[in-house]
Each structure stands twice: as structure tokens, then as C-alpha cells.
């Protein structure tokens, strides 16, 4: 069995914002195995960056405990930093230096000889398709190139865990897909990867295991299949009615339709969860018409991370 890379127990973080307490993280317990690619998925403000900050020593938890790469980020932050590589949301490259110099500098700081740091820097830039950009000043790099240099820099000291906070936020779709490819390669070579993302598609593309977070708590965690089976095994049928439609009666009827495991309404939208799409769609449409309602749109979503989020929160996922 693989060793444990990360274990957290009931992590909390409360910020004080002008005297007001902001409970950003409210009890996160998770385990990541070595070699895994693990994602913290949730909408903006869910507490992902705060959790990322605690795991990577930048944010001190209010309470709870954790082990990261065999050390304690609170008691021994220097040791944790030595063992991990972290890529934050901001561009933290030194703008006075070239791409290669940024890498060399990190290598020297970590105790490599000048020669070793330069060689490893070159190797990584080549690997990341940036061999011809090694002498470019940082401000000349595109967003995607800068992000790759930051990942290369984080990998320079062969970290036990590579942490990435929203790795493709703000990148164009093609650059995003290229970066996914790179991260998949790293992972195939055994690199443990922990990332945060608010893109369902990114979590789906990159993460073997996912923790779904919202409002500072972890709603569920598991492999994608586990989550889909456990939390969102049903397809979701959505009926959108004219604005202002009153759905109370319809909701009751929908809940009694055979094959419907759950029904809920949000404004003029009715959602039913079912394993029997073919049987339920006509029945629920009929119920809607019988209730004198006008249906604007019908949509069926097969089990996915989107339906998992819906099932967990009763809300549509908005990226």
C-alpha cells in the first residue's frame, strides 16, 4: 500500500476581517496517498486557497493538525518547504531575471552547486518546451510560459509533493490543455500532485481523487467513480418553466413519479434525479403540462462531477 503524503485532521481557519470573523475553512480532514493526483474542487470562496496555504505553510491554521510529506507545517515549516514544491496563483517569478536564472536561483538556494542548478534548470525548461525561452526575461513570457516556468521551478528540487493553486486560471483553452498534458505526464512518472481548481473539467481531466469543498467544508471525497456512484449516480432532468411559475404542486407530483429518487425546485426550475431517464422524462413533462405550466427548456445530464455537486448542494455549479 502506498505511503501517506498528506493527512489533515479537522483543519479550521478563521480570519479576522476588520473585527469580523470569517470562517474560511471549517473542519477539513483529508488523506492523500503518495503518487496520487488529488484535487480540491469548489466554487470561488469555498476555502481552497486557504487550505492550500495551510498545507504549504503560508497560512497558520486556527485549529486542527496535519502532516505534509512527513513533517508538520506548523511546527516545522522549513522542513515542509524543503520537501514540497508550490505554485501559487500569483506570478512569483523574479522579473529582474531570465527564465533559466529563476530556476538556477532556486537550485542554489536549495543547496545545489551552480553547475548542477543550471543543468537541472535547462533540463526542466527543455522538458517543458521552453528550451528556446531560457534566456528570455520573465516579463517577455506569455501567461502560459510563465506558468510553466513556475512549475519547472517548483519541480527543481524533486519535491515529494507538487502543489498547484488554480494552475490554469486565466489561461486560454489551448494553453490550458497543453498544461494538463504536462501535468498528466508528471503524474504518470509518479509525481504526487495536489491542486485546487474551480473548473469541473479540470478536476475531471487531472484528478484521480477529488475533495468537493463549499463554504469551508468538505462535502465529499473519493475517486471520480466513487463520487459519481455515491453522490450523483442518478441522471438529472431539468425542466425550466416561465419566470414566476409556481412549482409547489408540481414538486409533490414529481416526487411521486416511479423512478424519481429525488425532486427539488429552484425558482421556476424543477430538477429530478433518476436512474430511469427514458421513463421519467415523459412523465415529468406530462405532470408539468397537467399543472398548467409552460416548459421553456428540458435538459438531461448524465452522472458527472456537475451532477455530484448538484446532488451535494442542491445548487447549480457556477465556475
Ligand X SMILES: Nc1ncnc2c1ncn2[C@@H]1O[C@H](COP(=O)(O)OP(=O)(O)OP(=O)(O)O)[C@@H](O)[C@H]1O
Query: Can you give the binding site for ligand X, defined by CB under 6 A?
Result: 15, 17, 22, 24, 42, 44-50, 198
* CB nearer to ligand X: pick between 217 and 261: 217
Angle of helix 143-155 relative to helix 173-188, nearest 10 degrees, comes to 20
Angle of helix 114-127 relative to helix 99-109, nearest 10 degrees, comes to 130
Q: CB of residue 180 vs ligand X: minimum separation in angstroms?
A: 19
Give residues with Cβ within 8 angstroms of 13, minimum separation 6.
23, 24, 25, 47, 50, 51, 54, 59, 61, 62
Q: CB of residue 8 vs ligand X: minimum separation in angstroms?
A: 15
Give the whole-angstrom CA distance, residue 186 versus residue 271: 40
Q: CB of residue 40 vs ligand X: minimum separation in angstroms?
A: 8
CA angle 77, 159, 129 (to 5 degrees): 135
Sheet with 269-274, edge to edge strand ranges: 260-266, 269-274, 235-241, 295-301
* CB nearer to ligand X: pick between 46 and 237: 46
Q: CB of residue 233 vs ligand X: minimum separation in angstroms?
A: 26
* CB nearer to ligand X: pick between 68 and 284: 68
How does DSSP classify residue 74? T
* CB nearer to ligand X: pick between 201 and 276: 201
Give the whole-angstrom CA distance, residue 291 versus residue 287: 6
Nearest residue to 224 (alpha-carbon basis) of 299, 311, 306:
306
* CB nearer to ligand X: pick between 12 and 262: 12
Q: CB of residue 237 vs ligand X: minimum separation in angstroms?
A: 30
Q: CB of residue 64 vs ligand X: minimum separation in angstroms?
A: 15
Q: Where does the chain have alpha helices with state H? A: 48-55, 77-83, 99-109, 114-127, 143-155, 173-188, 200-206, 224-230, 248-255, 277-290, 305-313
* CB nearer to ligand X: pick between 156 and 211: 211
Give the whole-angstrom CA distance, residue 37 versus residue 49: 17
* CB nearer to ligand X: pick between 88 and 261: 88
Q: CB of residue 15 vs ligand X: minimum separation in angstroms?
A: 3
Q: How many CA atoms lie within 13 A of 186 on its CB side?
A: 30
Amino acid at each position: 500500500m502506498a505511503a501517506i503524503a498528506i493527512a489533515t485532521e479537522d483543519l479550521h481557519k478563521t480570519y479576522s476581517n476588520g473585527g469580523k470573523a470569517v470562517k474560511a475553512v471549517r473542519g477539513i480532514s483529508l488523506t492523500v496517498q503518495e503518487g496520487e493526483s488529488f484535487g480540491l474542487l469548489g466554487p470561488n470562496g469555498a476555502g481552497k486557497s486557504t487550505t492550500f496555504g495551510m498545507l504549504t505553510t503560508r497560512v497558520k491554521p486556527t485549529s486542527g493538525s496535519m502532516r505534509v510529506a512527513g513533517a508538520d507545517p506548523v511546527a516545522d515549516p522549513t522542513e515542509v518547504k524543503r520537501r514540497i514544491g508550490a505554485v501559487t496563483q500569483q506570478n512569483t517569478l523574479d522579473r529582474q531575471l531570465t527564465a533559466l536564472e529563476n530556476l538556477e536561483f532556486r537550485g542554489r538556494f536549495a543547496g545545489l552547486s551552480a553547475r548542477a542548478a543550471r543543468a537541472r534548470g535547462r533540463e526542466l525548461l527543455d522538458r517543458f518546451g521552453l528550451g528556446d525561452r531560457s534566456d528570455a526575461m520573465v516579463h517577455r513570457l506569455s501567461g502560459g510560459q510563465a506558468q510553466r516556468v513556475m512549475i519547472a521551478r517548483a519541480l527543481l528540487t524533486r519535491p515529494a509533493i507538487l502543489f498547484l493553486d488554480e494552475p490554469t486560471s486565466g489561461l486560454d483553452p489551448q494553453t490550458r490543455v497543453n498544461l494538463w498534458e504536462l501535468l498528466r505526464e508528471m503524474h504518470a512518472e509518479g509525481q504526487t500532485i495536489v491542486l485546487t481548481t474551480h473548473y469541473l473539467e479540470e478536476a475531471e481531466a487531472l484528478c484521480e481523487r477529488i475533495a468537493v469543498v463549499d463554504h469551508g467544508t468538505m462535502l465529499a471525497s473519493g475517486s471520480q467513480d466513487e463520487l459519481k456512484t455515491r453522490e450523483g449516480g442518478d441522471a438529472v432532468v431539468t425542466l425550466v418553466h416561465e419566470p414566476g411559475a409556481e412549482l409547489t404542486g408540481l414538486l409533490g407530483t414529481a416526487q411521486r413519479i416511479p423512478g424519481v429518487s429525488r425532486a427539488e425546485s429552484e425558482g421556476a426550475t424543477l430538477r429530478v434525479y433518476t436512474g430511469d431517464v427514458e421513463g421519467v422524462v415523459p412523465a415529468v413533462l406530462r405532470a408539468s403540462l397537467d399543472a398548467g405550466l409552460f416548459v421553456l427548456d428540458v435538459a438531461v445530464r448524465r452522472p458527472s462531477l456537475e451532477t455530484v455537486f448538484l446532488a451535494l448542494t442542491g445548487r447549480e455549479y457556477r465556475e
